[in-house]
Every structure is written in structure tokens, then in C-alpha cells.
Structure 1
Amino acid sequence: MTTVYHELLPESYLLLLTPGSPGTPEYALDYSLQCACRSGKPAVWVDCEFLGDFLSAEAARTLWDFHHLLQGQRKHLVVVHASDSVKETLLKWRLTPSICFASTMIDAAWQSGLRLVA
């Protein structure tokens, strides 16, 4: 299971993923992504900084499912601070245009097409 913390930002919905117990269903991730989709924000940013090098196959599949859902709503899913192995796990599920990856929150805003105000 991946424990998820979330924050409603002015132009996006931020999810912070942290490692949980291996082999446990990803209910928290699924629920948090449902909330993000209903938030009305044009972008969902998924911060993987605290995951380290592991993302379960179920979590990867859940992220892809919501990536497709958000694309249908003309919204963006951006994965931020993902390690190479987390990216690799996500890219194994590639069926359509790829999930956007960003190395910083500023890059996530740019990938989402958001304008930043200084």
C-alpha cells in the first residue's frame, strides 16, 4: 500500500506518495486520485520523492488508469521526483501517450501548461 498525503494548490492537486506495507491493496492511492479528479483542478501532480526505488505494479496500474481518465477530462497527470526504477515501473504499462515526468515542481507546472507568477 502507498500512503498518500494531498494538498489542494491554486492550480493543481498535489499527491505525496510514501511507502506502505508491501502486498496491500492500493485503496488510499485510488481514493486520493478519485478526489483529485473531482477537485476541478487542471492538473494532478504525484510526488514520488519519498518512494525511493519501489512502486508496486498495482500502484503503477492505478496511476495509468487515472492518467487515462484525466486525459479524457483534458487534464494533466504529472509524476514528480520519480527515481529511475519508479519511471521504469510506470513505463512498463505504457499503452498510450506517456505520463509526463518532471524533476521539480516548477517543471510540473510547465508540463501542466500553467503560468507561474513571480
Structure 2
Amino acid sequence: MPALQVYHEILPDSYLLILAENDELPEEVPLAKLLRQAANSGKAYVWVDCSHIHRLSHQAIGLLRKYYLQLRRRHIPLVLCHLDESLQQLFRQLPAASQPPIVPTLLDADHYCHAGRSHRS
């Protein structure tokens, strides 16, 4: 499985992680480290763009699930977007209560988060 490279972008309301496959990396850039940074960033939302990947290790799926649950307890949505069908199926195999929301695009992630915020207010 190719190594997972993680880029991040700090947006006005959200922390964006962009996952990419990179065969030239000797090891994975730690997804856990960047998820921890996102969780502690003070941003209202965490978005994970999966448009550049087609596979994820069980470890990466477990980390995304773990941080989704941690952030949910703090009322910070973690939303996945741009997943191909095979990745969506992997996340749908998780117990329903621990499945991060999956939306088609970053714009949909923004709409999802703002709609959720208005329901919580």
C-alpha cells in the first residue's frame, strides 16, 4: 500500500487535511499528528479531503474513526469528502455510531457543518 502523505490548510472556520498517496515516501507522514493538531487548532470544523487517494490502511481508518468520536464529543464535526466508492464502503462497514459523515465535496462539507451548527444553536 502506498505511503499516506498528509497536507493541511488552515481555513477561517475549519482545518482541512488533504490525504494523498505517495510511493516515494519512506514512511507515512503521521496522520495522527496532524489529526491531533486539527483537534487542538480551535477551529469549528475538521474536513478531510480524500480526492487523491483510493485506499486507506486499517490504521488510518481507525485514526479517522477515533478522532471523529473525540471531536464529536466536543461538538466539532469531522467530515470526510471526495471519497471514491470503495473508500465509502470501508467506512460504511464501521458501526453506525462511529461512522464519520461523508459528503461529495468541500462545499458540501461546509453546508453540512453550518446546517449542523444552526440545529445545535
Q: TM-score range by the shorter chain?
A: 0.7 to 0.9
Query: TM-score if structure 2 supplies the norm length?
Result: 0.83
SS of corresponding position for 1:86: helix
Counterparts of 1:1-118 in structure 2, within 5 Å, are: 1-20=3-22, 28-51=30-53, 53-113=54-114
**How many percent of aligned residue pairs carry the same amino acid?**
32
The aligned length equals 112
SS of corresponding position for 2:109: helix
Q: Which runs of 4+ in 1 moved over 4 A?
A: 24-27
Distance 1:25 1:59 in 2: 13
Counterpart residue type for residue 50 of structure 1:
H
Q: Which runs of 5+ in 2 are unaligned?
A: none
Query: TM-score if structure 1 supplies the norm length?
Result: 0.85
More helix by share: 2
Distance 2:28 2:63 in 1: 8
Deviations 1:6-45 (A, max 9, x none): 0000010000001145xx8766111000000000111100
Q: Which runs of 5+ in 1 are unaligned?
A: none
